[in-house]
Chain A
């Protein structure tokens, strides 16, 4: 790590810690941004680096969301009665119970999806290309439809997560969730950055470029694919758990297993920023979130129309993403040596 990078990281860290105090009105938005970055970055591990484009990471996200909230309630109160009471709360969490429940819930929300990913990984990751994409799309939708039929977690009418306890200050809810999501973001960044410096990343890239050759070179591709997917699932589950608490209400198809919104968002953000780069998904998520929050209100009900158009436009005209575009424009910045003669010839051609 050189000096310039260190300054950059420290700058981002300071900005991250100070952000909720500089923009107190945007705390919820900033926390959502953190969650989106986590989702985009972890989608990139298997979507961008491994070449297994999944629509199904929403499965882990939704699973984490339901698990975190269920554990948080179930640790102290009967779960069935809680969901039955719906909006009118007969049970109230004390602050200690709330935070304990949240901590245990987040651990469960991270671990269980990881195990699930490991269990289904062997079957699902044997599929390739578009079969994998459609299969994971099916998984996500099936999970949404099935969880919508299970009574104990609210079935069709949804599941209210425990409200934030009264700890004195009105601001504390936003601050708590912001710092929680920011912490998870940092954790994700460190983990992903660590992974990207190891041989593991090279193996993932080998799988993306030519899986048969990678296998022929003696790499047990299945093992690495499953591990890659499990890492994705771990952080997706965590992000889902936080998002559940942040939204305060879980609906099977509109919040948790929302393949039409969040499931596409993470793919779109990673592609917008640039697949297969460390910073791409982060930049993509930030740009996307700013665009979404800035312009969504102007579309007034036409959001999904705009989203559809946006997907088509990005995919057709911008498949390399922002990082890919920068790389083409400033190759030296990315450590590529450019021959001076080549560049002149290129300029003349243009």
Chain B
């Protein structure tokens, strides 16, 4: 029964990871930037929902409010920093976003304090299999909301004008520019959408799990891992590997103990990268 519990928990958690990873895949594909501050944007989104909870509004509304605020935060970050590193060396962008990550981490630490917090949604729990498996309704709610947001975004990317422009820029930025796409605007919008997705995910995390100013980096690493397993632009892959990672994490938590949970995530990242490196080197290729 514990394994069923871990599997279900992992899948519901993994859907959330997949949402964050989708944002990362988006900006990676379009702007060729790996955003180390991704996890910190998630945590910031979570704090927005938490504050609504503190002021007596139901934190579920954070799912609506937080992406709107985060969209503008994303645009601001883009205008201030990212647009200066977009076409430079990748390491520069990694280091710059690492700086943003440290900055955000510490600002959140000042603004919200170093306590682990949780926005209580009072959704109750669902019992399954003779009360052997306990699922908080908030987890089911969050998985449902993330699926809804993901589907909306996919439709938006397929149908709307901006979505088409984003996809065109991802394929070939120069050609898109020649054909009249304002790539600068597309980049800003992409970063904003990514931040908004982080905001949704953060709000959901603050309802279902806990948030803490220093918890950002693991989310970045998780989403990076999901993207490299699935590959850029492979949406079902992102969803599947997100859930797989969630299940892995729940089992690692259960078998090794909670203190090794984050460590096992980071080790898994290293193992996956090394595995891919050996697999590719047989064909005399490398990760790029």
| A interface residues (Cβ-Cβ under 8 A, vs B) | 53, 123-124, 126-131, 133-135, 137-139, 141-142, 144-146, 148-149, 156, 260, 264, 267, 271, 301-302, 304-305, 307-312, 315-316, 319
B98 & A311 in contact (Cβ 8 Å cutoff): yes
B94 & A149 in contact (Cβ 8 Å cutoff): no
B91 & A133 in contact (Cβ 8 Å cutoff): yes
B95 & A142 in contact (Cβ 8 Å cutoff): no
Cβ-based interface call for B259 (8 A): yes
Nearest chain B CB to A311 CB, angstrom units = 3
A127 & B273 in contact (Cβ 8 Å cutoff): yes
Nearest chain B CB to A145 CB, angstrom units = 3
| Complex Cα–Cα for A230 and B262 (A) | 27
Cβ-based interface call for B51 (8 A): no
Nearest chain A CB to B282 CB, angstrom units = 11
Chain B contact surface mostly: helix
Contact with A along B253-288 (1 / 0, CB 8 A): 000010110110011011001100110010000111
Given A131-B287, A304-B105, A146 and B260 contact (CB-CB distance below 8 Å):
yes
B270 & A135 in contact (Cβ 8 Å cutoff): yes
Residues in B neighbouring A307, C-beta threshold 8 A = 99, 102-103
Nearest chain A CB to B146 CB, angstrom units = 24
Residues in B neighbouring A146, C-beta threshold 8 A = 260, 263, 267
Residues in B neighbouring A308, C-beta threshold 8 A = 99-106
A126 & B288 in contact (Cβ 8 Å cutoff): no
| Complex Cα–Cα for A127 and B101 (A) | 24
| Complex Cα–Cα for A144 and B103 (A) | 21
A-B contact count (CB 8 A): 134
B94 & A134 in contact (Cβ 8 Å cutoff): yes
Residues in A neighbouring B263, C-beta threshold 8 A = 141-142, 144-146, 148-149
Name the 4 nearest CB pairs between A and B, nearest first: A308-B103, A311-B99, A145-B263, A142-B266
List 11 extra interface pairs beyond A138-B266, A141-B266, A309-B99, CB under 8 A.
A126-B286, A128-B286, A128-B288, A130-B94, A138-B267, A138-B273, A142-B263, A146-B260, A260-B105, A311-B99, A316-B96
| Complex Cα–Cα for A53 and B286 (A) | 17
Residues in A neighbouring B224, C-beta threshold 8 A = 134
Nearest chain B CB to A301 CB, angstrom units = 8
| Complex Cα–Cα for A307 and B103 (A) | 7
Nearest chain B CB to A304 CB, angstrom units = 4
Contact size range, B: 35 or more
Contact with A along B228-250 (1 / 0, CB 8 A): 10000000000000000000000
| Complex Cα–Cα for A339 and B277 (A) | 47
Given A138-B221, A145-B263, A316-B81, A130 and B92 contact (CB-CB distance below 8 Å):
no
| B interface residues (Cβ-Cβ under 8 A, vs A) | 34, 81, 84-85, 88-92, 94-96, 98-107, 109-110, 217, 221, 224, 228, 257, 259-260, 262-263, 266-267, 269-270, 273-274, 277-278, 281, 286-288
Residue of B nearest to A123 (CB): B274
Nearest chain A CB to B88 CB, angstrom units = 8
Residue of B nearest to A319 (CB): B92
Residues in B neighbouring A133, C-beta threshold 8 A = 90-91, 94
| Complex Cα–Cα for A29 and B99 (A) | 25
Given A311-B95, A316-B84, A123 and B266 contact (CB-CB distance below 8 Å):
no
Residue of B nearest to A307 (CB): B102
Nearest chain B CB to A128 CB, angstrom units = 5
Residue of B nearest to A139 (CB): B270
Nearest chain A CB to B276 CB, angstrom units = 8
Nearest chain A CB to B258 CB, angstrom units = 10
A312 & B260 in contact (Cβ 8 Å cutoff): no
B85 & A315 in contact (Cβ 8 Å cutoff): yes
| Complex Cα–Cα for A145 and B215 (A) | 13
Residues in B neighbouring A310, C-beta threshold 8 A = 99
Given A126-B281, A312-B81, A135 and B257 contact (CB-CB distance below 8 Å):
no
Residues in B neighbouring A145, C-beta threshold 8 A = 259-260, 262-263, 266
Most chain B Cβ neighbours within 10 Å, of A129, A133, A137, A149: A137
Can you pick out 10 interface pairs between chain A and chain B where the beta carbons lie within 8 Å of each other? Answer: A133-B91, A145-B263, A148-B259, A148-B263, A156-B259, A302-B110, A304-B106, A305-B107, A311-B99, A316-B85
A129 & B288 in contact (Cβ 8 Å cutoff): yes
Residues in A neighbouring B96, C-beta threshold 8 A = 311-312, 315-316
Nearest chain A CB to B281 CB, angstrom units = 6
Residues in A neighbouring B110, C-beta threshold 8 A = 301-302, 305
Given A148-B259, A304-B105, A315 and B92 contact (CB-CB distance below 8 Å):
yes
A123 & B95 in contact (Cβ 8 Å cutoff): no
| Complex Cα–Cα for A126 and B81 (A) | 31
B106 & A142 in contact (Cβ 8 Å cutoff): no
Nearest chain B CB to A209 CB, angstrom units = 13
| Complex Cα–Cα for A187 and B105 (A) | 38
Most chain B Cβ neighbours within 10 Å, of A301, A304, A307: A304
Residues in B neighbouring A131, C-beta threshold 8 A = 228, 273, 287-288
B34 & A315 in contact (Cβ 8 Å cutoff): no
B286 & A264 in contact (Cβ 8 Å cutoff): no
